[in-house]
């Protein structure tokens, strides 16, 4: 067993082990173990990434059960990219939560609500284990199981926010379970046709198939289920209350990472499991149209918010739209252009990765301000920037990434999407991207500009209490994500090379 | 030469590093902050000066490239920083003026809040400007162009009151709108003709593409120039500029002289001369409409300036008018005209920054914001008034100032070019310039204050006002440059000689 193979298994199991251990530890020790585990995971990511970058495809069969039945872990370009970004965001958020424990929620002690929920640590590590397993899974059933793990822990994480977060969490639970069930139904249909769960074998079986009706139905079921979990418009209603009611350390995880898990499964299904089916074009077009609607409607709704966290959450809805905008370009049609499809695919991944980093930073910053000022009403946050220049700078950097301005992966992604759209002569994509960019500039400005205001209100604002050292360190976490947003912008070309490793063409 | 190749990158990073040091500095460490700022500015100036001999005399083109954007299958598009004479010309201007503006800003903002933030973004702004000047292809240019928009926003909004934020928002709307147009143009051109490396005489791929599909080439040209025209305040895209006058004086000075407005025209020069190439652009027939727009802007800006009663707003409209001389020069399709346009990049910069320095001084020392407040200021602030007078004479184009050289060169160009009527535009605009600057200069030196009723007050007011040294010295320096550049225009390495060299490259 090579180091990379060992790491594949460890990436899924170490966080699970960490989650189990933190459950029996006293509270301060949970934080320490959480930080150690997160660093360990980041360390384990390195050999997998190195091996994939050098062009290998590490593979591990757990328990010795071979393909149709067994548990296959596979590392390829897509997995490596998302493992990397999850480590980066995960370690940063773990550090933030460890330094500012009150950001992990509130719990009801015998007397009152106490800030800082110890349940955060096992849940977050469990969620991380699920995320890694989603990226690495080589078969449909494992995808389902890991996705379920991610979804359920995420729901519980939302509920840590105290009484006001229980209703959004319950709503999220219904959607997550319903989405999983539809996905599972789709998987069941596929297995009834192909007789295998393995992604590559499924593709092989389907390619020889005459009648595409059943696989098409299965793909539709899986797509709708996953779209619910990703929160594609019009299935986005659960996202905004859940992401904005969640505790400060949880919102960035949800918005940055959790919805990406469902997105990765979506890409795996469309690009790996199912070959281009007759009649699947309308589905792709449907997704493209919903994506365009998401970009525009999500941005307009973001523009109408008065509170910072819902604004950031609606911006996620808009960003999700961009990823689906690429679906009509994603399938190599009969006039071929695998190049074109690879451009669109690279664009989607670049935008999703850029979004993971930038949105995690922005949500952390919004949560930080909410914790500190007691509210995230934008009118009450006027002038808050005066005490937190580093935070504002970091938010600006994250905003660059979300707007898709250079230098950021958001820019690379939009570039690839736009060039693929021009090559395919789908001009409407360009229009949507341009309109979305302008709208997002408007809502970002609306969110950040009041913080810069130096009105007299700033003097008697409730935030006048001195900023503690811990809070300064917390600001550094946001700065790390902001700087990462900009620096990863230089990796666009490398990212697209990396995605070629183990891609389906 | 390996060492030279790293210098362009070093110049960009230098300002970023300065910003990174300054941002976390607490407010009270004013001395350290000023030292870091000045050290950065000086090193930058030295590095730029070191680049002049190899690039201009030996014809070296130091270059730094790193792969940036993936293309469908082919080679990735690179971020390219390359030093050519035009790049060096612009970078030199920004290096000199950054140093002076930094000194001025240290004096201007002494004792006010949020200085670390101000100087941090100020440095980032310079980093973006240097990046723009050294950009070796359209993508790189776009990257730094957008960056410039973002980092100037907090500078315009610096005072943090409603008015500043409103102006900043207006600026952002205009600049991002223009940015999107440029982005679309760049994406389209890159799809059609590859990454469009800047080359003297135009990029070969673009020339080929212009022959293949001239209509699309014209549309792309319109998108690019239209987008760039927002920052260079071409009429009717200029409204943000007078509004942005609420910013602190050093910011206005920098915005007008080197950074934002200049980035726009510099981009237009690049697109016309180094992307399309002047010959191709002429054959496409896009130069004449642009020339007309520039002429309209020149006249309209001067006319609006005449109507303003506030000093800074009059200067703002004067910028609208003056910057278009550059566009006028490069679009009139003659070598002398191109040289005149390019040299005006520098000349307008040093003259306009002098005027803004002085306007800031008047406002700080006497509280004078309106032109009527300036009556008799010559006796109370003689040095400032002298510098202002030099700048104003330069703007009108009187010898022996830099402005005279520009206008002379542009006039020569107009006669050589297929559009001799441009000479009329130059004459009318000079008359208008004189009409709005001469009365100011007159009232500076010969005006009397009107409030005779309060005689003791008047006696007191007539006394000399203290002119702060940190603010005065930069203004006197740039006023001096205005004269020196005008007098020594035909010496080697003078702006005029370098711009002639550049113009020869364009027409080669």
pLDDT tens, A423-436? 788 888 888 998 99
Tokens of B113: 């809040």
Residues of chain A contacting B16 with CB distance shorter than 8 Å = none
Q: B347 versus B27: which is more confidently predicted?
A: B347
| Interchain CB distance below 8 Å, A405 and B150 | yes
DSSP state for residue B197 in the 8-state scheme: B
**Cα torsion angle, B3, B5, B8, B12, sign:** negative
Q: Which tens digit of pLDDT belongs to each residue from A66-110? A: 666 667 888 889 999 999 999 999 999 999 999 998 898 888 888
Q: Is the pLDDT of residue A383 over 80?
A: no
Report the residue of B13, B69, B76 to disrupt the A interface, i.e. the one with the largest count of A CBs within 10 Å. Answer: B69
Q: Is the pLDDT of residue A309 over 90?
A: yes
Q: Are B56 and B88 in contact (CB under 8 A)?
A: yes
Residues of chain A contacting B20 with CB distance shorter than 8 Å = none
Tokens of A203: 């593709």
Give the C-alpha distances (Å, rounded to integers) separating A205 from A142, A183, A219, A245, A266.
Answer: 19, 20, 15, 45, 20
| Interchain CB distance below 8 Å, B157 and A452 | yes
The strand pairing partners of B310, in sequence order, are B370
By three-state DSSP, how is residue A1 classified? coil
Q: Are A421 and A427 in contact (CB under 8 A)?
A: yes
To the nearest whole Å, the CA of A22 is away from the closest chain B CA by 36
**Cα torsion angle, A468, A469, A470, A472, sign:** positive
Tell me the C-alpha distance between B190 and B69, whole Å: 11
Quote the pLDDT of residue A271.
85
- The phi, psi pair for B470, rounded to 5°, reads -65, -25
With residue B82 as reference, give the H or E element that holds it: strand B77-82
Tell me the C-alpha distance between B84 and B81, whole Å: 10
A454: nearest CB among B160, B169, B179: B160
By three-state DSSP, how is residue A208 classified? coil
Report the residue of A341, A454, A478 to disrupt the B interface, i.e. the one with the largest count of B CBs within 10 Å. Answer: A454
Q: Is B46 exposed, middle or buried (0-12, 13-18, 19+ CB in 10 A)?
A: exposed
Predicted structure pTM score: 0.84
Most confident of A331-335, A362-366, B65-69: A362-366
Quote the pLDDT of residue B155.
87
* Mean pLDDT, residues B86-97 taken together: 90
Q: Are B144 and B11 in contact (CB under 8 A)?
A: no
The strand pairing partners of B69, in sequence order, are B77
* Mean pLDDT, residues B424-439 taken together: 92
Q: Is A401 exposed, middle or buried (0-12, 13-18, 19+ CB in 10 A)?
A: buried
* Mean pLDDT, residues B347-352 taken together: 91
Taking CA–CA distances from B177, the nearest residue in chain A reads A438
Q: Which tens digit of pLDDT belongs to each residue from A452-496? A: 776 544 444 444 567 788 888 899 999 999 999 999 988 888 888
Q: Is the pLDDT of residue B30 over 90?
A: no
The model's confidence at residue B368, banded by pLDDT at 50, 70 and 90, is confident
User: Which ipTM score applies to this complex?
Assistant: 0.75
**HEC string for B329-348:** HHHCCCHHHHHHHHHHHHHH
Q: Which tens digit of pLDDT belongs to each residue from A89-101? A: 999 999 999 999 8
Quote the pLDDT of residue A168.
94
User: How many Cα atoms within 13 Å fall on the side-chain side of residue A335?
Assistant: 5
Angle CA B30–B32–B37, to nearest 5: 95
Q: Is the pLDDT of residue B327 over 50?
A: yes
Q: Which tens digit of pLDDT belongs to each residue from A434-463? A: 899 989 989 998 888 888 776 544 444 444
On whether any CB of chain A is under 8 Å from the CB of B66, the answer is yes
User: How many Cα atoms within 13 Å fall on the side-chain side of residue B131?
Assistant: 27
Quote the pLDDT of residue B84.
87
Q: Is the pLDDT of residue A353 over 90?
A: yes
The model's confidence at residue B462, banded by pLDDT at 50, 70 and 90, is low
Q: Is the pLDDT of residue B402 over 60?
A: yes
Q: Are B97 and B350 in contact (CB under 8 A)?
A: yes
Quote the pLDDT of residue A457.
46
Taking CA–CA distances from B140, the nearest residue in chain A reads A406
Taking CA–CA distances from A451, the nearest residue in chain B reads B160
| Interchain CB distance below 8 Å, B161 and A386 | no
| Interchain CB distance below 8 Å, B69 and A416 | yes
By three-state DSSP, how is residue B336 classified? helix
Q: Are B369 and B307 in contact (CB under 8 A)?
A: no
* Mean pLDDT, residues B402-416 taken together: 91
| Interchain CB distance below 8 Å, A346 and B70 | yes
Chain-wide mean pLDDT for chain B? 87
Give the C-alpha distances (Å, rounded to integers) separating B339 from B129, B371, B399, B420.
Answer: 22, 34, 18, 17
Q: How many CB pairs under 8 A join A and B?
A: 101
Quote the pLDDT of residue B455.
47
To the nearest whole Å, the CA of A306 is away from the closest chain B CA by 18
* Chain centroid, CA A488 distance in Å: 16
The model's confidence at residue B298, banded by pLDDT at 50, 70 and 90, is very high
**HEC string for A21-74:** HHHHCCHHHHHHHHHHHHHHHHHHHHHHHHHHHCCCCCEEEECCCCCCCCEEEE
| Interchain CB distance below 8 Å, A497 and B71 | no
- Residue A163 makes CB contacts below 8 A (sequence gap 6+) with none
Residues of chain B contacting A449 with CB distance shorter than 8 Å = 157, 165, 168-169
B184: nearest CB among A407, A434, A445: A434
Q: Closest Cα partner for B1 from B44, B46, B50, B66?
A: B50
Q: Closest Cα partner for A403 from A307, A476, A478, A485?
A: A485
Quote the pLDDT of residue A334.
47
- Residue B286 makes CB contacts below 8 A (sequence gap 6+) with B218, B221, B222, B225, B276
Q: Is the pLDDT of residue B331 over 80?
A: yes
| Interchain CB distance below 8 Å, A492 and B70 | yes
Chain B from 180 to 219: CB within 8 A of any A CB: 180, 183-184, 187-188, 190-191
The model's confidence at residue A333, banded by pLDDT at 50, 70 and 90, is low
On whether any CB of chain A is under 8 Å from the CB of B138, the answer is no
Q: Which tens digit of pLDDT belongs to each residue from B237-289? A: 888 888 888 888 888 888 777 888 899 999 999 999 999 989 899 989 899 99
By three-state DSSP, how is residue B66 classified? strand
To the nearest whole Å, the CA of B25 is away from the closest chain A CA by 11
Q: How many CB atoms lie within 10 A of CB B192?
A: 19
Tell me the C-alpha distance between B35 and B41, whole Å: 10
| Interchain CB distance below 8 Å, B70 and A418 | no
| Interchain CB distance below 8 Å, B160 and A390 | no
Quote the pLDDT of residue B57.
78
- The phi, psi pair for B259, rounded to 5°, reads -85, -90
On whether any CB of chain A is under 8 Å from the CB of B147, the answer is yes
Quote the pLDDT of residue A343.
81
Q: Are A58 and A2 in contact (CB under 8 A)?
A: yes
Q: Is B508 exposed, middle or buried (0-12, 13-18, 19+ CB in 10 A)?
A: exposed
| Interchain CB distance below 8 Å, A438 and B177 | yes
Quote the pLDDT of residue B453.
46
Q: Where are the alpha helices (DSSP H) in A234-337?
A: 239-245, 251-253, 259-267, 281-303, 308-325, 327-330
Tell me the C-alpha distance between A276 and A273, whole Å: 10
Q: Are strands A71-74 and A59-62 parallel, antiparallel or unpaired?
A: antiparallel
B146: nearest CB among A390, A406, A494: A406
| Interchain CB distance below 8 Å, B188 and A400 | no
Chain-wide mean pLDDT for chain A? 88
A422: nearest CB among B150, B168, B191: B191
Residues of chain A contacting B162 with CB distance shorter than 8 Å = 455
Quote the pLDDT of residue B379.
84
* Mean pLDDT, residues B420-447 taken together: 91
**Cα torsion angle, A178, A184, A186, A192, sign:** negative
Interface of A with B (CB under 8 A): 339-340, 342-343, 346, 383, 386, 389-390, 393, 396, 400, 405-407, 412, 415-416, 418-420, 422-423, 430, 434, 437-438, 441, 445, 449, 452-455, 490, 492-497
């Amino acid at each position: 067993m090579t180091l990379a193979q060992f790491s594949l298994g460890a990436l899924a199991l170490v966080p699970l082990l960490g989650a189990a251990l933190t459950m029996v530890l006293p509270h301060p020790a949970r934080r320490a173990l959480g930080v150690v585990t997160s660093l360990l995971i980041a360390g384990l990511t390195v050999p997998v990434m190195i091996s994939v970058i050098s062009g290998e495809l590490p593979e591990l069969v757990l328990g010795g059960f071979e393909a149709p039945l067994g548990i296959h872990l596979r590392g390829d370009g897509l997995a490596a990219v998302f493992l990397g970004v999850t480590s980066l965001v995960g370690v940063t958020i773990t550090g933030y939560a460890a330094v500012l424990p009150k950001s992990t929620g509130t719990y009801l002690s015998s007397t009152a609500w106490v800030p800082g929920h110890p349940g955060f640590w096992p849940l977050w590590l469990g969620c991380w284990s699920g995320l890694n397993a989603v990226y690495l899974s080589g078969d449909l059933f494992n995808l389902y199981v890991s996705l379920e793990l991610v979804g359920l822990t995420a729901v519980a994480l939302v509920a840590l926010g105290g009484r006001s977060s229980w209703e959004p969490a319950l709503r999220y639970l219904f959607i997550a379970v319903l989405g999983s069930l539809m996905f599972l139904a789709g998987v069941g249909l596929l297995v009834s046709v192909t007789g295998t769960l393995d992604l590559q074998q499924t593709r092989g079986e389907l390619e020889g198939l005459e009648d595409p009706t059943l696989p098409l139905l299965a793909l539709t079921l899986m797509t709708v289920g996953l779209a619910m979990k990703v929160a594609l418009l019009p299935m986005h209603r659960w996202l905004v209350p859940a992401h904005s009611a969640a505790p400060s350390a949880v919102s960035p995880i949800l918005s940055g990472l959790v919805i990406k898990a469902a997105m990765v499964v979506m890409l795996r299904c469309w690009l790996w499991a199912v070959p281009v089916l007759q009649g699947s074009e309308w589905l792709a077009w449907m997704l493209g149209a919903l994506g365009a609607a998401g970009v525009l409607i999500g941005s307009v709704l973001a523009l109408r918010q008065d509170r910072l966290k819902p604004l950031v959450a609606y911006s996620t809805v808009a960003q999700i739209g961009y990823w689906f905008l690429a679906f009509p370009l994603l399938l190599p049609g009969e006039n071929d252009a695998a190049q074109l499809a690879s451009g669109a695919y690279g664009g989607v991944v670049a935008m999703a990765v850029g979004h993971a980093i930038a949105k995690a930073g922005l949500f952390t910053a919004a949560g930080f301000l909410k914790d500190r000022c007691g509210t995230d009403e934008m009118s009450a946050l006027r002038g808050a920037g005066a005490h937190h220049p580093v935070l504002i700078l970091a938010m600006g950097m994250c905003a660059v990434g979300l707007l898709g301005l250079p230098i950021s992966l958001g820019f690379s992604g939009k570039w690839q999407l736009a060039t693929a759209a021009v090559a395919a002569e789908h001009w409407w994509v360009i229009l949507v991207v341009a309109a979305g960019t302008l709208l997002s500039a408007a809502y970002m400005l609306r969110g950040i500009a009041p913080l810069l205001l130096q009105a007299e209100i700033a003097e008697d604002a409730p935030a006048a209490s001195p900023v503690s050292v811990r809070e300064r360190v917390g600001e550094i976490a946001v700065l790390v994500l902001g700087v990462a947003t900009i620096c990863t912008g230089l990796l666009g070309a490398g990212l697209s090379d990396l995605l070629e490793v183990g891609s389906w063409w | 030469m390996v060492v030279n190749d790293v210098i362009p990158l070093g110049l960009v990073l230098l300002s970023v590093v300065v910003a990174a040091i300054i941002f976390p500095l607490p407010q009270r460490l004013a001395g350290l902050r000023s030292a870091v700022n000045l050290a950065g500015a000086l090193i930058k100036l030295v590095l730029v000066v070191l680049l002049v001999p190899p690039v201009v005399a030996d014809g070296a083109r130091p270059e730094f490239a790193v792969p940036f954007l993936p293309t469908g299958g082919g080679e990735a598009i690179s971020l390219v920083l390359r030093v050519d004479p035009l790049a060096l010309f612009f970078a030199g201007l920004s290096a000199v003026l950054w140093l002076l503006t930094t000194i001025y800003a240290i004096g201007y903002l002494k004792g006010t809040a949020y200085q670390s933030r101000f100087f941090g973004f100020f440095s980032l702004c310079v980093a973006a400007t240097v990046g723009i000047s050294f950009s070796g292809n359209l993508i790189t240019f776009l990257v730094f162009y957008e960056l410039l928009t973002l980092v100037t926003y907090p500078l315009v909004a610096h005072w943090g009151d409603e008015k500043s934020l409103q102006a900043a928002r207006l600026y952002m709307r205009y600049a991002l709108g223009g940015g999107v147009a440029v982005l679309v143009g760049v994406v389209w051109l890159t799809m059609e003709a590859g990454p469009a490396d800047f080359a003297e005489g135009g990029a070969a791929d673009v020339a080929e593409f212009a022959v293949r599909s001239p209509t699309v080439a014209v549309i792309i040209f319109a998108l690019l120039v239209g987008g760039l025209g927002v920052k260079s305040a071409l009429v009717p895209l200029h409204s943000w500029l007078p509004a942005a006058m609420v910013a602190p004086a050093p910011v206005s000075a920098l915005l007008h002289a080197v950074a934002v407005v200049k980035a726009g025209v510099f981009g237009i020069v690049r697109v016309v001369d180094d992307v399309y190439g002047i010959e191709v652009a002429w054959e496409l027939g896009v130069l004449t409409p642009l020339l007309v727009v520039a002429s309209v802007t020149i006249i309209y800006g001067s006319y609006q300036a005449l109507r303003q009663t506030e000093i800074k707003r009059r200067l703002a409209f004067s910028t609208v008018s003056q910057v278009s001389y550059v566009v006028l020069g490069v679009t009139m399709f003659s070598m002398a005209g191109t040289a005149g346009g390019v040299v005006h990049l520098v000349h307008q910069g040093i003259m306009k920054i002098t005027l803004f320095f002085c306007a800031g001084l008047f406002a700080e020392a006497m509280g004078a914001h309106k032109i009527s407040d300036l009556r008799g200021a010559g006796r109370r602030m003689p040095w400032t008034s002298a510098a202002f007078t030099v700048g104003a004479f330069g703007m009108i184009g009187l010898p022996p100032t830099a402005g005279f050289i520009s206008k002379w060169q542009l006039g020569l160009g107009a006669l050589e070019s297929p559009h001799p009527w441009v000479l009329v535009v130059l004459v009318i605009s000079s008359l208008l310039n004189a009409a709005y600057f001469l009365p100011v200069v007159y009232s500076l030196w010969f005006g009397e204050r009107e409030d005779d009723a309060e005689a003791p007050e008047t006696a007191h007011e007539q006394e000399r006002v203290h002119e702060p040294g940190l603010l005065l010295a930069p203004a006197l320096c740039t006023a001096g440059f205005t004269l020196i550049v005008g007098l020594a225009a035909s010496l080697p390495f003078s702006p005029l000689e370098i711009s002639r060299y550049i113009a020869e490259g364009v027409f080669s």
